[in-house]
Amino acid sequence: MRGVVGPLLAVVCGIACAATAPAPPKVTAPPATSSAAPSASPSPSVSASVSDSAVVSASASVAPSASSAPPKLVCNAQTAFPWLIRGSYIPVGSHKAAHQKTLEWRSKQYGYVKPHGDPDWNSKTPHEQAVDTTFMGLSVRMHKRVVPALACVEAELKVACAKDKYKPGALAGIRDHNTYQGGEVTNHLYGIAIDIDPTLNSCCGCVTKWKKHPLCKKKVKSIYERMVMPQCWVEVFEKYGFYWLGHDTLQDTMHFEFLADPDKILVPQP
């Protein structure tokens, strides 16, 4: 039977809180009126506005609700490693070393996917380390190591992007088959990619059916006009180490993949 875990926030606690926690932690929504001034709090605070992140501490707090609850958890802002970004290693036929480097990283961090790379890199598969979780109230199956990053994103979305009132109706996470051609390997195979509303947020450079979609046919000034998801969501995901494939030639606006360091998603607490 597959491992099943509870909501994202409970997962965060399971990973980073004391094992004897008396109650599941609760994400404390960042104050909606946060200013750009640095917080006087000893712990990093979250900005209500994504654009403030460079000024205010670029972290989100995941705090318990009761004083007797486990220590406060703090999310770490990260950016995607450039060499893991798809555009740096495609076409893979002429970027073999660069592509191989990404396969080795992904395999060692998340599991070996036959036949991509070297089985000696990891004795486990990503599927063996995948868990059922929730994101913004929807179920999705992801690699357990990136679940805390999704929790960080969710906590900040609920504050920074609340004004947009966007609520997705469907998600897609880990896959068991490669959907790329030409030797490339999708991050969905590793359980580190998530699609938001896959039928509504377009991928105009993907399969043929999208080319006929109104969002792909219309003239736009920005890629953000080719999706129903608010731009604010992209900014929050990117703040916590996810790369948005809307920047890519595929224009895959539904797709985020975690390309930062999974060991640095949460700030270690004393």
> Which residues contribute to the site for Zn ion (CB under 5 A)?
195, 255
By Cβ distance, which residue is nearest to Zn ion?
Answer: 255
CB of 124 vs Zn ion, minimal distance in Å: 23
Beta bridge partners of 95: none
In whole angstroms, the minimum distance from the beta carbon of 81 to Zn ion comes to: 19
Q: Output 44 or 191, the one with its CB closest to Zn ion.
A: 191
Query: Which of 17, 196 has the CB closer to Zn ion?
Result: 196
Question: Which of 236, 235, 67, 245 lies closest to 153, judged by CA?
Answer: 236
Distance of closest approach, residue 188 Cβ to Zn ion, in angstroms: 6
Q: Between 175 and 239, name the residue whose CB sits nearer to Zn ion.
A: 175
Please, which residue, 177 or 219, has the CB nearer to Zn ion? Answer: 177
Toward Zn ion, which CB reaches closer, 70 or 246? Answer: 246
Angle at 78 between CA 72 and CA 79, to 5 degrees: 165
> What minimum distance in Å lies between the beta carbon of 202 and Zn ion?
12
Residue placing its CB nearer to Zn ion in the complex, 99 or 188? 188
Cα distance between residue 92 and residue 261, in whole Å: 23
Whichever of 156 and 195 has its CB closer to Zn ion, that residue is 195
Closest contact distance (angstroms) between CB of 15 and Zn ion is 24
Please give, one letter per residue, the 3-state secondary structure of the chain.
CCCECCCHHHHHHHHHCCCCCCCCCCCCCCCCCCCCCCCCCCCCCCCCCHHHHHCCCCCCEECCCCCCCCCCEEECCECCCHHHCHHHCCCHHHCHHHHHHHHHHHHHHHCCECCECCHHHCCCCCHHHEEEEEECCEEEEEEHHHHHHHHHHHHHHHHHCHHHCCCCCCEECCCCCCCCCCCCCCCCCCCCEEEECCCCCCECCCCHHHHCCHHHHCCCCCHHHHCCCCHHHHHHHHHECEEEHHHCCCCECCEEEECCCHHHCEECCC
- Judged by beta carbon, residue 145 or residue 255, the one nearer Zn ion is 255
- CB of residue 195 vs Zn ion: minimum separation in angstroms? 4
Entry field: residues in the chain: 270
| Rounded least distance, CB 252 to Zn ion, Å | 6
Are residues 4 and 133 in contact, defined by beta-carbon separation less than 8 angstroms? no
User: At its nearest, how many Å lie between Zn ion and the CB of residue 255?
Assistant: 4
